[in-house]
């Protein structure tokens, strides 16, 4: 059977970087008035899981060709880009992948970012497979907290979804280890897919009630072109809230900050809160403050983008820090993405960059 090849950047060539038009002291906003607050940096395109909604095994098989080492951003290049985004207003950085803990010496990168950007909130998203052994080192390096992906508490369901025969017990142990290391409160992300794990939503909420950790239930999204997304597989966040609320009464909570993607709901008995991320049924494009840097240094201004802007060429081509920061400002000024607001059956089929390449 011939190998299936999915291009990491679905359209050839990077987008041209526009000239910067405004003074550096001016407040930065895109064409829809959105600021640049959050940056996600993918430190590797590799992962040891093959979750069906992200890296299905029939595409990302044993012979799949990941990025060669020379094309992956170095730690020094990542720090330079992080500084440029901070100069443009970024307050929060999240390290993603792939699975970021597969990147060798990731603790060193965390320490470098913390030293250079002491006032930035520094977080990391992981599948939890290597977190137990590395949680303390990450905390000592300067990481503020972690988010762990956990799609089921039922071991058989979890193994089917991660398609790597990885047991749920080891992820739960990792969550406890991260909390003990000082990376709490943790956020726990559950991607909900109809007919697969949606019947376990209340069990997930019950398990983490009263722990201080926050479960966030994520609608199954049409990211990339390999996960077989169908609208029929989406469980609306309103339905998720209703199911949990019938067992544990809930009340809505205001966002922690402008642009927060998760809708917040607190338990009326004071046992904590849950969140829902409703990219499909309740689009939040109008308040999106996120940018993403892929493993090879492409800047994407939307999770559902087809092409990025090549920042690596600038960094490796001798550009100074101010020039890189101006490029970031110029790109953001011209941003007008609002994919989720205009999503249709046809746009959902369009070729887009894979989530494993730019992080969720």
> What would the CATH number be for the domain defined by 38-355?
3.20.20.70
pLDDT at 6 over 50: no
pLDDT band, very low/low/confident/very high, at 350 (cuts 50, 70, 90) = low
Q: How far is it, in rounded angstroms, from Cα 118 to Cα 263?
A: 28
Do residues 54 and 227 touch, judged by C-beta distance below 8 A? yes
CA angle 104, 116, 39 (to 5 degrees): 70
DSSP code for 271: S
pLDDT at 352 over 70: no
Percentage with pLDDT > 90 across the chain: 72
The number of CA neighbours under 13 Å toward the Cβ of 175 is 23
109 backbone dihedrals φ, ψ, rounded to 5°: -65, -45
- pTM recorded for the entire structure: 0.91
Mean pLDDT for 339-356 is: 64
291-322 confidence digits (pLDDT tens)? 999 999 999 998 878 789 999 999 999 999 99
246 vs 27 pLDDT, higher one: 246
pLDDT at 354 over 90: no
- Domain layout of the chain by residue ranges: 38-355
Query: Residues near 169 by Cβ (< 8 Å), separated by ≥ 6?
Result: 155
Do residues 273 and 264 touch, judged by C-beta distance below 8 A? yes
200-226 confidence digits (pLDDT tens)? 999 999 999 999 999 999 998 776 666
32-50 confidence digits (pLDDT tens)? 999 999 999 999 999 999 9
pLDDT score recorded for residue 329? 95
pLDDT at 172 over 90: yes
In the chain the beta strands, taken as DSSP E runs, fall at 38-42, 92-96, 121-126, 145-149, 187-192, 214-219, 250-253, 263-267, 273-277, 290-293, 298-300, 309-310
pLDDT score recorded for residue 27? 77
pLDDT score recorded for residue 258? 77
pLDDT band, very low/low/confident/very high, at 104 (cuts 50, 70, 90) = very high
- Which candidate, 225, 192, 231, 220, places its Cα nearest to that of 304? 225
pLDDT at 9 over 50: no
């Amino acid at each position: 059977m011939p190998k299936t090849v999915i291009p990491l950047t679905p359209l050839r060539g990077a987008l041209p970087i526009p000239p910067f038009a405004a003074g550096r002291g001016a407040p930065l906003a895109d064409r829809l008035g959105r600021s640049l607050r959050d940056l996600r940096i993918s430190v590797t395109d590799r992962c040891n899981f093959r979750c069906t909604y992200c890296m299905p095994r029939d595409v990302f098989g044993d012979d799949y060709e990941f990025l060669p080492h020379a094309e992956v951003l170095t730690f020094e290049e990542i720090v330079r880009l992080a500084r440029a985004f901070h100069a443009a207003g970024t307050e929060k950085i999240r390290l993603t992948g792939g699975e970021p803990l597969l990147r060798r010496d990731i603790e060193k990168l965390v320490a470098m970012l913390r030293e250079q950007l002491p006032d930035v909130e520094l977080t990391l998203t992981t599948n939890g497979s290597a977190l137990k052994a590395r949680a303390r080192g990450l905390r000592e390096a300067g990481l503020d907290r972690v988010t762990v992906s956990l799609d089921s508490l039922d071991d058989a369901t979890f193994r089917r979804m991660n398609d790597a025969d990885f047991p749920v017990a080891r992820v739960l142990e990792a969550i406890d280890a991260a909390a003990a290391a000082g990376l709490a409160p943790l956020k726990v992300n559950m991607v909900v897919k109809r007919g697969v794990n949606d019947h376990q939503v209340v069990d997930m909420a019950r398990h983490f009630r009263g722990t201080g950790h926050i479960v966030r239930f994520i609608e199954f999204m049409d990211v990339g072109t390999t996960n077989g997304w169908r609208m029929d597989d989406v469980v609306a966040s309103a339905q998720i809230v209703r199911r949990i609320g019938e067992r544990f009464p809930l009340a809505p909570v205001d966002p922690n900050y402008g642009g927060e993607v998760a809708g917040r709901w607190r338990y009326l008995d004071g046992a904590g809160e849950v969140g829902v991320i409703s990219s499909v049924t309740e689009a939040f494009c109008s308040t999106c403050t996120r940018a993403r840097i892929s493993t090879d240094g492409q800047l994407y201004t939307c999770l559902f983008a087809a092409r990025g802007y090549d920042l690596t060429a600038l960094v490796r081509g001798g550009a100074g820090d101010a020039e890189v920061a101006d490029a970031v400002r110029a790109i953001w000024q011209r941003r007008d993405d609002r994919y989720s607001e205009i999503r249709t059956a046809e746009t959902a089929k369009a070729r887009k960059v894979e989530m494993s390449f730019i992080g969720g």
